[in-house]
């Protein structure tokens, strides 16, 4: 149990385009999901908290207009990187909070912006 999936697992896009990443909790419902970013040789950094049916809460320094988050159902949250630039290239990871509060992580999405 407690499986979280992400799609796509990797994506290459041109600078200026937008990319959507999906995060799904497969066998449980999650009212809260989280989005993280990880640059090479660094630890995970929390970007935002996604709550089902309400607006996401962004961490300091994360542009909400650039990283659009939608949590339309109890099993799906999406992160859209708008007008992506090479500096947005990173490993994006989501997590979903289970019923007892433990967070379960997806496998991550590797984004490369050319």
Partner 1 sequence: DAKTTQPPSMDCAEGRAANLPCNHSTISGNEYVYWYRQIHSQGPQYIIHGLKNNETNEMASLIITEDRKSSTLILPHATLRDTAVYYCIVLGNAGGTSYGKLTFGQGTILTVHP
Residue of 16, 107, 112, 114 that binds partner 1 (CB under 8 A): 107
Piece of the chain touching partner 1 by CB under 8 A; list 2-10, 14-22, 63-71, 75-83 = 2-10
Q: Is 81 helix (H, G, I), strand (E, B) or coil?
A: strand
- Residue 114 in contact with partner 1, rule: CB under 8 A: no
How many C-beta neighbours within 10 Å does residue 64 have? 13
Piece of the chain touching partner 1 by CB under 8 A; list 63-71, 72-80, 82-90, 104-112 = 104-112
Q: Please tell me the total number of residues recorded for the chain in this structure.
A: 114
Contact 35, 67 (CB under 8 A): yes
Backbone angles phi, psi at 74, to 5 degrees: -75, -5
**Residues at the interface with partner 1 (CB under 8 A):** 2, 4, 6, 32, 34, 36, 43-46, 49, 91, 93, 95, 97, 101-108, 110
């Amino acid at each position: 149990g407690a499986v979280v999936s992400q799609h796509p697992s990797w994506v290459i896009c041109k600078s200026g385009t937008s990319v959507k990443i999906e995060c799904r909790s497969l066998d449980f419902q999650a009212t809260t999901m989280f989005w993280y970013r990880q640059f090479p040789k660094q630890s995970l950094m929390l970007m935002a908290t996604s709550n089902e049916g309400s607006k996401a809460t962004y961490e300091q320094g994360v542009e909400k207009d650039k990283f659009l988050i939608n949590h339309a159902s109890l099993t799906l949250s999406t992160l859209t990187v708008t007008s992506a630039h090479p500096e947005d290239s990173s490993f994006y990871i989501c997590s979903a909070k289970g019923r007892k509060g433990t967070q379960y992580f997806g496998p991550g999405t590797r984004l490369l912006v050319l």
